[in-house]
Amino acid sequence: MLFLRCAKSIVPALLVVSLLPAQSSDTALAAARRALDLLLAEKYSDLTPLLTPAAKERLTVEFLHDKVGGEIRTFGQMHSVEEPVLAKDGDNTLISYPVHFATTRVYIQFTLEPSLLVSGLYIRPLNAPLPKVWQRPAYSKPEAFTQRDVTIGSDEWKLPGSLTIPIGKRPVPGVVLVHGPGPNDRDEEIYSNRIFRDLAEGLASRGIAVLRYNKRTLAYGDKMGYMSFTLEQETVEDAVRAIDVLRHQPEVAANRIFVLGHSLGGYAAPRIAARDGKLAGLIFFAANARPIEDVALDQNDYVAHLNGDPSPQSQQRLEALKAEVAKVKNLQAGTSPPQVVMGLPGVYMLDLKGYQPAEQAKQLKVPMLFLQGGRDFQITSKDLGVWKAALAGRPNVEFKEYPALNNLFIAGEGKPGPSDYLRQGNVDPAVIDDIATWIAH
């Protein structure tokens, strides 16, 4: 995904999250909604029979009235309840309802056991409608790999990482995972989803070593917030250092190192490959080829119009973003850029003036694999078309599209939107299989 960054802190600035219905059993939804209605109506005695024995000990009528109800009453009059967000935590079902009150909007979450009795009740903030629950995908075979900690670099920017190594035959090919924008951790954790962990465990189960690491903007976000940095410091330098770490692992074939770049990581991949000079290939994982200001504007425009005409506030944000994009377009080499533009250091955007990743990729001789989800509203067919046009006719370049997958390569249905990322899922098994097969060849 593509996010912008402010000067002193790093925040997701491109997505305005709205929630859409998730899939679950009708019975679980009905049970949770009944519990919610009783809670909001302050019918605590009627709510008690819906609780598990353990929950009854904690959520007594007095506690519900004084503590839970007391907090809810501070929110003012209840206006509306929207469609819930759902997830699974083992055998339990997590159902969280967005509730609008006069003074605020919160999520009220219920944890339901298989019996459909409520074992947990939580009032949650807007940015965390459900607890973070990652589900190991079926293609991950923990008995087939081991994992150990590694360190990327040895200077003031050293980063913690994880190396996932297949058990058995040696040496094995290796992949370095390069993040999208923003302060990503080694798993690229986005709510309950951990797509880099999915990739690491899935590929290691198929005989491929994978190195992933915390991004510099996560490990040193406060320090970098006051610095003028570029894509080099944010992404390229650490990716090159991670490649070197992986290349020197005894279990890994030094001449079989690949880079997989997600979103901004794919955008930077041609620079990474040119800097290293010895990669066996590149994998572009929903990688933008167009300037990031153009992609950002398209993303925001899509989200603003997702449910019809944008609100006045959304329209104002779009106009403000257009003004920022115009500033980027007017940047000139040899001049002093603004300190911050589009939430990024001015030098960051100036450094990318004239950068055409598809044209730079064209100069590389290594094999390349491009993967694109059909439900990706952030990096779209516009970008894939640029890559295809630049690399047309190259026998060692392959393109794969997945109609049902989003920017995280997780399957979904319906009109895609930001709420997709609030639903727990895993990288689709077809993607794992395609990457492993391509590397093997």
Burial grade of 147 (CB within 10 A; 0-12, 13-18, 19 or more): middle
pLDDT for res 244: 98
Q: Is the pTM of this model over 0.85?
A: no
For 397-422, give the secondary structure using H, E and C: EEEEEECCECCCCCECCCCCCHHHHH
Tally Cβ neighbours within 10 Å of residue 195.
Answer: 23
For the stretch 374-414, pLDDT in tens is 999 999 999 999 999 999 999 999 999 999 999 999 999 99
- Long-range contacts: 198-201, Cβ < 8 Å, 24+? 198/137, 198/140, 198/426, 198/427, 198/432, 199/175, 199/260, 199/427, 199/432, 199/435, 200/162, 200/164, 201/136, 201/137, 201/139, 201/140, 201/141, 201/142, 201/145, 201/164
Q: What integer best gives the mean pLDDT of the chain?
A: 90
Instruction: Tokens for 329, please give them.
Output: 């377009």
CA 286 to mean position of chain CA atoms: 12
* pLDDT over 50 at 9, yes or no: no
For the stretch 240-291, pLDDT in tens is 999 999 999 999 999 999 999 999 999 999 999 999 999 999 999 999 999 9
Distance (Å, whole) CA 259 – CA 281? 7
The terminus-to-terminus CA distance of the chain in angstroms comes to 29
Instruction: Identify residue 103 by its one-letter amino acid code.
Output: T
pLDDT for res 131: 81
Distance (Å, whole) CA 425 – CA 68? 31
Q: Are 239 and 272 in contact (CB under 8 A)?
A: yes
For the stretch 213-234, pLDDT in tens is 999 998 998 888 888 999 999 9
Q: Are 289 and 387 in contact (CB under 8 A)?
A: yes
Specify the higher pLDDT residue, 288 or 132: 288
Among the listed ranges 49-58, 202-211, 244-253, 283-292, which one has the minimum average pLDDT value? 49-58
Distance (Å, whole) CA 132 – CA 129? 9
pLDDT for res 7: 28
* pLDDT over 60 at 169, yes or no: yes
